Every structure is written in C-alpha cells, then in structure tokens.
Amino acid sequence: MRAPFASVWFDCDSTLSAIEGVDELLAFAPKELRADIAALTTKAMEGTLPLADVYETRLRLLAPRRDQLDRIGELYVARLVPDARALVEALQHLGKHVGIVSGGLLVPVQAVARHLGVPDANVHAVPVLFDVAGHYVDFDRRSPLWKNQGKVEVLRALPADRRPLAFVGDGVTDLETQGTAELFVGFGGVVARPRVRDGAQVFVATPSLAPVLQHVTTADEQARLASLARFAPLLSAARG
C-alpha cells in the first residue's frame, strides 16, 4: 500500500486554472507583439526553449501593471478547472499540506490560493516589482521559478514534514519535479502536452482534476472521505 502523502503541490496555469496568465496579459499588449509573445510561451511550455530565455523577454515586452495582474487573478478564479476547489478541500480535510508552485506571477497566483484556501506560506511564484504608481519595474530575479529546475529547487527546500509529496502539473517544468517529488501526476485536462504525457509516472487526461484524488490518497483515506456526504460528488467524479 502506498504511504500517505504529507503534501500535494499544484502548478497553477492550465492545472488549477484553465488559462495561461501570460496569454491573458496579451490582451493588454500591442497587437504587433501578441503573436511573438504567444509563440515564446508555447516553446517554453513544450520545453523547446529554456524558460529563462523566454521569461525575461516576455515580461520586458508585456511590462504588466499591478491592476492588470489583479485582473488576471480574477480570471484565474473564474476559470478554475472543474473540481479544483473540492479536491483541495478534501486533501486538507485529510490533514495534508496543499500548496502551489508556479512559474507564474505571484499577484494572480495568490488570488487563486486565497480562493482555494491555500495558505500564503504554501504559495510559491515569481514576485513582480512595481513603482508607486503600480507600473512594472522588474521581476524578482532571486526567485528560482523563472528558470528550468526552479520548481525542483523549491520542492527540495520544503520542510521535512511535507514529505512524502506529490506534484501535479501540465508542463515540462512540472515534469522536471519527477524524481524530486515522490509522485508526479501529469495533468492534460486543459492541454495535453506529449512530452509530459509520455514522461509522467501518472497522467490524468480528464477535464476535471478529481481523478488526481485516486493517485494521491490511500484506500483508507478515500474511505474517510466517503463517510462524509460533502465529498460524495468529488469521489464520484474521481472514479469516473
């Protein structure tokens, strides 16, 4: 029997939420830049370009204001993947730490975390620096999350009581956590990336996050959830 996971960590974009925050920021960019920035994002997510080569260029071109990032946070919440909130509630009910590790920008990722009830201490994303008027200055280059292997670095720095841990994500930088996390669950419910699908220990292709529950909980834990009516819809969705 699999030992219970002490914590479960999620990517944000195309995992907890059905959007990519950078793609949504394109609405604020000049039209002539949109195709180029979108192409950079695709290459980073598919692993054909190093993330660091893409990250700095995208943010320099987009130069997002604070109010724009607040708007992206609202969109993240409005476009949550089905059963995301119920899954987080179930894992927390079982006493597991739940967190988010994202290469996205901290302000909108925190909006998702607040909506899901994930504590700030368990939210890792890239901070953005603004001037007093809320205009973009730079991003915090001390964060490891704007580079490949950044999520691995964050997971390795977690306290010992977070292990064993599982990580759930859709992209190549999520796949990098496999081997550092005791279990990596690839999620293809929004975008099924072939490299992730082929490389993941476990791959979930349904539009809902509910089936993840079966991979990150034991039979005994699922029985505990089954004893509570409020988790019945989640369990039903998890079993298909």
Which pLDDT score, from 0 to 100, does residue 2 have? Answer: 65
pLDDT, averaged across the chain: 93
Q: Looking at the domain 7-238, which fold is it?
A: Rossmann fold (3.40.50)
The dihedral of CA 114, 96, 45, 48: what is its sign?
A: positive
Q: What is the Cα 129 distance to its own chain's centre?
A: 21
pLDDT tens for residues 192-222? 999 999 999 999 999 999 999 999 999 999 9
Q: Is 117 left (phi over 0), alpha (psi -120 to 50) or beta?
A: left
13 is catalytic: yes
Which pLDDT score, from 0 to 100, does residue 156 have? Answer: 98
| Residue 179 in tokens | 């081997």
> pLDDT class for 39, splitting at 50, 70, 90?
confident
Which pLDDT score, from 0 to 100, does residue 169 have? Answer: 98
Q: What is the 3-state secondary structure (H, E, C) of the chain?
A: CCCCCCEEEECCECCCECCCHHHHHHHHCCHHHHHHHHHHHHHHHHCCCCHHHHHHHHHHHHCCCHHHHHHHHHHHHHCECCCHHHHHHHHHHCCCEEEEEEEEEHHHHHHHHHHHCCCHHHEEEECEEECCCCCEEEECCCCHHHCCCHHHHHHHCCCHHHCCEEEEECCHHHHCCECCECEEEEECCCCCCHHHHHHCCEEECCCCCCCHHHHHCCHHHHHHHHCCHHHHHHHHHHCC
Residue type, 53: D
Range name among 14-23, 50-59, 162-171 with the lowest pLDDT average: 50-59
Domain boundaries, the chain: 7-238
Which pLDDT score, from 0 to 100, does residue 1 have? Answer: 46
53 is catalytic: no
CA distance 35 to 144: 27
Question: For 97-120, what is the mean pLDDT?
Answer: 97
Question: For 48-68, what is the mean pLDDT?
Answer: 85
Peptide bond into 164 cis (omega under 30): yes
Assess whether pLDDT exceeds 80 at residue 3. no
Which pLDDT score, from 0 to 100, does residue 55 have? Answer: 84
- 181 DSSP β-pair partners: 178
Query: Cα(first)–Cα(last) distance of the chain, in Å?
Result: 22
Which pLDDT score, from 0 to 100, does residue 26 have? Answer: 83
More confident residue, 59 or 188: 188
Which pLDDT score, from 0 to 100, does residue 50 have? Answer: 78
Residue of 11, 83, 170, 174 marked active site: 11
Which pLDDT score, from 0 to 100, does residue 240 have? Answer: 77
